A and B are shown apart, each in its own frame.
Chain A
Amino acid sequence: MLKKFFGEIGRYFLLMGKVFSRPEKMRIYRRRVMVEMEAIGLGSIVITAIISVFIGAVVTLQMAINLDEGFIPQSLIGFATRETMILEFSSTVVALILAGKVGSSIASEIGTMRITEQIDALELMGVNSASYLILPKIVAGVFFFPFLCIMSILIGTAGGYMISAVTGVVMPGDFLEGLHLDFNTWSITYTLIKMAVFAFIITSVSSFYGYWARGNSLEVARSSTRAVVASSITVLVFNLILTQWLLI
């Protein structure tokens, strides 16, 4: 079990070595990065926006219910919503959601290419298939996911503001005041660093499981599941490490 685990880690780093070797033609890779940004990034905007607006609204409601004491200023509800969105939700939770959506898509795409011999065909042409297929996905993810994170923060807090305006659980003015309260710009830097690291983990781990898929469509499905589980766990572990390292 332990031998298999370390064996997998070794194979992952060997694959990454192949991925980051010198690309054949930068121009082709740049074009592929754009294509991947559209597939991985633009394709995730809607789901990220929907989840963010609802979570922002729910966090505001929960805060309003739990801080319903006369001595606690209502502006703290806006403050708490903002901090929740910035520090955890828009990076870690969005990353977990993207691990499911993007991770399974990457693993099944590359896995299908493997079992239909498309990867062998690339190798036969003399193409470094690992670099050609995986590097553009990693670059696209690392550059685009932080934008999704910023978008999620903005939409989530907007969701909180909307629910406060609609239900009146907190006065919108107090909510806005809370959003401006004790703002620390390092929180944004911290969450963007986290998101870039999570993007690398999701795209590379999912690609790894897809790249080494063997057999038939059932195996591709299993690889896809393994990719989601492994990248989600790795994201959670690195969330802890990065929080300890960057915030404490």
Chain B
Amino acid sequence: MIRAENIVKSFDGRRVLDDVSVTFEQGKTNLIIGRSGSGKTVLMKCLVGLMPTDGGEVWYGDTCFSRLDFRQVKAVRQEMGMIFQGGALLDSSTVEENVRLPLDLFTDRSEADKRDRVDFCLERVALTDANRLYPSELSGGMIKRVAIARAIVMNPRFLFCDEPNSGLDPITSGVIDRLIAEITREYDITTVINTHDMNSVLEIGDKVVFLHEGRKWWEGSRHDIMTADNPELGDFVFASPMARRTRQPK
């Protein structure tokens, strides 16, 4: 479980996150949704410590992440996996090297053991025979799969995904969404996903948090979202003409 308490973050005097408190539950896919510029990515970066907060605390289970020193932060981070918007694979490394990097740096496993683990993770994301390819030789969907494989290679307790569907077609997006949801349940991890893709929300949103103008505006599940009585959320959910047609009574 991850708990954010009263998170405040400003840039040049402009408040981007305003007193955001939210709990992300273990074994569930927790989605943060909101318009572009609503503070989703900043909140996620504050959660993982890539951005310092101006106020508030982040808790990982019983550990207050915001009060840890450099070494303790490193230890907690080895229990995290993150899938970045663009994949963030190391350009100069092959698929295999990308996935095995954490194993090389933080474990004393044998070469054969590491190879087996890498192969297992790549098979788990349905990516075989790509071990020797470089990121520049992969499609968008493959890059996301490798990023997922790299994120789960150390058996993380916490998985963060920053817009995992951006730049993907609807079918590949669905595949990536289902993969993340399966992995979340399989390993009983706490998954936090930033998205503005309503298909993802309706397919895998066990818990949905809606951010608006830097504040938590609404939270619930994918089952509640279509009937929620919240104008800003309604505008967001039914923004597309197709969604609006489903909303209007015949």
Do the two chains bind?
A: yes
Check if B31 is an interface residue, CB within 8 A of chain A: no
A24 to B90, CA, bound (A): 18
Total A-B Cβ pairs within 8 A: 55
Stretch of A118-126, A139-147, A209-217 at the chain-chain interface? A118-126
| A124–B90 CB distance below 8 A | no
Check if A25 is an interface residue, CB within 8 A of chain B: yes
Q: A117 with B78: in contact, given A28-B104, A125-B101 (CB under 8 Å)?
A: no
| B84–A121 CB distance below 8 A | yes
Cβ of B48: which chain A residues have Cβ within 8 Å of it? 124
Chain B interface, number of residues (Cβ within 8 angstroms): 23
| A28–B82 CB distance below 8 A | no
Instruction: Tell me which of A113, A123, A127 contacts B105 (CB under 8 A).
Output: A127
Cβ of B112: which chain A residues have Cβ within 8 Å of it? none
Check if A62 is an interface residue, CB within 8 A of chain B: no
Check if A116 is an interface residue, CB within 8 A of chain B: yes
> Which residues, 66 to 91 on B, are CB-close (under 8 Å) to A?
74-75, 77-78, 80-82, 84-86, 88-91
Instruction: Tell me which of A25, A118, A123, A126 contacts B90 (CB under 8 A).
Output: A118
Cβ of B89: which chain A residues have Cβ within 8 Å of it? 118, 121
Q: A118 with B88: in contact, given A25-B104, A127-B105 (CB under 8 Å)?
A: yes
Cβ of B90: which chain A residues have Cβ within 8 Å of it? 113, 118, 121-122
Cβ of A116: which chain B residues have Cβ within 8 Å of it? 86, 88, 91
| B50–A123 CB distance below 8 A | yes
Residue from the set A121, A122, A123 with the largest chain B CB neighbour count within 10 Å: A121
Instruction: Tell me which of A24, A25, A125 contacts B77 (CB under 8 A).
Output: A125
Cβ of A112: which chain B residues have Cβ within 8 Å of it? 91
Q: Whole-angstrom distance from the CB of A148 to the nearest CB of chain B?
A: 23
A131 to B106, CA, bound (A): 15
Residue of B nearest to A23 (CB): B105
> Which residues, 180 to 227 on B, are CB-close (under 8 Å) to A?
none
5 nearest A-B residue pairs (beta carbon): A121-B88, A126-B77, A117-B88, A126-B78, A24-B105
Taking A124-B82, A128-B74 as given, write out 4 further A-B residue pairs in contact, using a Cβ cutoff of 8 Å, ordered by the A residue number: A24-B105, A28-B105, A117-B86, A118-B89
Which A residues form the contact surface with B (CB < 8 A)? 24-25, 28, 112-113, 116-118, 120-128
23 residue pairs from A and B, CB less than 8 Å apart? A25-B104, A28-B105, A116-B88, A116-B91, A117-B88, A120-B84, A121-B82, A121-B84, A121-B88, A122-B90, A123-B50, A124-B77, A124-B80, A124-B160, A125-B78, A125-B102, A126-B74, A126-B75, A126-B78, A126-B102, A126-B105, A127-B102, A127-B105
